[in-house]
Structure 1
Amino acid sequence: MVALLSLTLSGVICYHVVLFVGGGESVFLETLRSAMHTVVAIFLWLVIATHEQIQRNVSEG
């Protein structure tokens, strides 16, 4: 999960650099933004699933 978060943050940084340098919106930037949102959603899902698994293990034993 840490690796996924690191990749996501790297993507966010790259997106903002390209946005700053390019100065405008393009299809590439829209695609990059969409991919970043997808990765963030997957990361949050993994965090929630891991948390629920830990809670289940604690309550069982």
Structure 2
Amino acid sequence: MSLKPKTNSGYDRISSKLLKYLIPSISFPISIVINKSVQTGIRPRNMKIAKMISIYKEKNKL
């Protein structure tokens, strides 16, 4: 719920604004998927994707 309500999306094409709106209806099914994943040690392929972004810090410029 602490996500900023932005309309841009990541790899999954789901905006944080939409996600916050859908939380009441999707939180239970998502918790089942995550709990089963932890119990079995099997991760859905789509959960293995990450978006990496470099962030410039003034003192550490390359």
Normalising by structure 1, we get a TM-score of: 0.30
**Which structure shows the higher helix fraction?**
1
Normalising by structure 2, we get a TM-score of: 0.29
